[in-house]
């Protein structure tokens, strides 16, 4: 399962189906540094040329799409932000800034984000537009037949990415995006940035602070990824995180009158029976007027998608309803949850989020080198996470067949010399489990852990206590007290 963006009202940022609006030229323009901004769907947009290959700047450029919501009044500086993914659109986040940030932050900061290279409007990666074959495959087993089926679709997907992305494929790494971030800062002619990153955006932020510690004023990393964890450890941690969230959903559903699934029964047993049934015989479903069938691969993704939302109407509430409908023979709601996560459009075309996820992620660290090594990891993961372990591992298989070698390596990030960095961990986060935030806060030379006790992915925007601590820190640089926990 990929790590996504914001929770609550903006969880959709991590699973966007595309750019909200193109940056149309208007009579208005404003220059900041070397950037000229133009009105664009209620905010301001521009582009910035950066080297395709930072190690050989003269070998060609790509253009990054940027968006900005100017500060409302008492401007402090630039708040650069990333919604997660990898693959989520930062320009979309700026369009939704009014729903994400408190008025005090909007008043004092230019909210600026960008589509990272390979994403949205910034030289997007492409891997073919028809991906039903990739998401419908059964990833729930660890046997040889499952391995062969997943190898076939993963090889096809990786080959399509190499064909469609062309010469861009080796240059879409997170490390290259960190260099892009500082090019954005320089182009805006500001000496330092404030930064708020969600999920995968925490990895970007930590790497930026490590490379450019003196160019950070404040930094908040919400839903943190532990950069020191190995591929195997991080995969297993995430699968256990989803398993724990599913168990919490079962407990909530059993005792909550608002849960539609297996009411007055045993939700855990009913869930296993339902998944076994879908494995044997697909459920019909209608989504956006399109008649389809719900396969087990899509069912698993639909469940995981809802778990991102935690204990809320768009999370556990939606999951209970979708499972109840599937048990009655209507797979449409689970298909809709899966589609929102994978970026599937009516007719079977997909946006480029999936392509960006792999094009970036496969360059960021070494994966198991062989199919058998991946299968053995799936066996390990399934022991500790029966519902998500195998599928989480198999979803990473395309990286084993990737046509560009990884450039990143796991290792602790210290960001020595940077100002205090606030790391937010959610105790029941399925996608980026709490121990990852604990680890990153410990590894950073100036890390400060802020804990949210609750469910769902990421914490900012869920709780007044978290929001107040973050907003106060961004504005006044008042660091939250050590050991702060928000319930």
Active site residues: 199, 429, 457
Structure tokens at 367: 């994966």
The answer to whether the Cα torsion of 56, 59, 65, 69 is positive or negative is: positive
User: How far is CA 24 from each of CA 28, 43, 44, 50, 360, rounded to the nearest angstrom?
Assistant: 11, 11, 10, 21, 28
Structure tokens at 338: 């899966």
* Helical segments of 365-454, H only: 371-384, 389-394, 434-443
Q: Burial level of 276, CB count in 10 A (0-12/13-18/19+)?
A: exposed
**Best CA proximity match to 13, nearest among 199, 249, 175:** 199
**Best CA proximity match to 307, nearest among 15, 17, 101, 89:** 15
> C-alpha 363: how far from its chain's center?
16
Q: Which residues contact 170 (CB under 8 A, 6 or more apart)?
A: 363, 404, 405, 407
The span from the first CA to the last CA of the chain, in angstroms, equals 26
The answer to whether 469 and 486 are in contact (CB under 8 A) is yes
Rounded Cα distance between 246 and 231, Å, is: 23
């Amino acid at each position: 399962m990929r790590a996504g963006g914001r929770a609550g009202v903006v969880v959709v940022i991590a699973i966007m189906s595309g750019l909200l609006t193109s940056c149309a030229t208007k009579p208005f323009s404003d220059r900041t540094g070397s950037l000229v901004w133009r009105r664009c769907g209620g905010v301001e947009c521009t582009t910035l040329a950066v080297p395709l290959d930072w190690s050989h700047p003269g070998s060609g450029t790509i253009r990054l799409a940027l968006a900005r919501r100017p500060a409302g009044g008492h401007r402090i500086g630039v708040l650069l932000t990333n919604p997660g993914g990898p693959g989520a659109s930062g320009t979309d986040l700026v369009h939704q800034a009014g729903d994400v940030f408190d008025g005090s932050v909007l008043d004092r900061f230019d909210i600026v984000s960008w589509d990272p290279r390979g994403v949205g409007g910034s030289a997007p990666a492409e891997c073919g537009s028809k991906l039903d074959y990739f998401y419908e495959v059964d990833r729930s087993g660890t046997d040889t037949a499952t391995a062969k089926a997943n190898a076939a679709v993963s090889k096809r997907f990786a080959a399509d990415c190499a064909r469609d992305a062309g010469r861009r494929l080796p240059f879409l790494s997170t490390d290259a995006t960190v260099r892009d971030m500082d090019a954005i800062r320089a182009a805006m002619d500001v000496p330092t940035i404030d930064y708020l990153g969600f999920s995968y955006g925490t990895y970007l932020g930590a790497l930026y602070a490590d490379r450019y510690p003196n160019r950070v004023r404040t930094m908040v990393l919400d839903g943190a990824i532990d950069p020191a964890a190995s591929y195997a450890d991080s995969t297993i941690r995430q699968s256990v995180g989803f398993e724990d969230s599913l168990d919490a959903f079962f407990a909530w559903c059993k005792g909550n009158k608002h849960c539609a699934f297996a009411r007055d029964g045993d939700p855990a047993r009913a869930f296993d029976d339902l998944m076994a049934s879908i494995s044997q015989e697909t459920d019909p479903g209608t989504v956006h007027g399109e008649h389809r069938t719900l396969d087990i691969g899509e069912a698993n993704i639909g469940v995981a998608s809802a778990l991102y939302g935690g204990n809320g109407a768009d999370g556990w509430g939606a999951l209970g309803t979708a499972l109840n409908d599937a048990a009655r023979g209507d797979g449409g709601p689970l298909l809709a949850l899966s589609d929102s996560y994978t970026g599937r459009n009516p007719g079977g075309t997909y946006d480029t989020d999936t392509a960006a996820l792999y094009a970036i992620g496969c360059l960021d660290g070494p994966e198991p080198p062989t199919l058998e090594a991946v299968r053995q990891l799936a066996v390990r993961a399934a022991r500790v996470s029966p519902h998500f372990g195998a599928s989480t591992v198999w979803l990473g298989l395309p990286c084993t067949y990737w046509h560009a070698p990884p450039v990143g390596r796991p290792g602790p990030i210290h960001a020595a010399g940077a100002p205090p960095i606030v790391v937010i961990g959610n105790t029941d986060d399925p996608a980026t489990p709490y121990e990852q935030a604990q680890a990153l806060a410990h590894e950073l030379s100036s890390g400060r852990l802020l804990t949210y006790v609750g469910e769902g992915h990421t914490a900012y925007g869920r709780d007044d206590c978290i929001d107040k601590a973050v907003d106060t820190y961004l504005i006044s640089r008042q660091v939250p007290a050590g050991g702060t926990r928000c319930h």
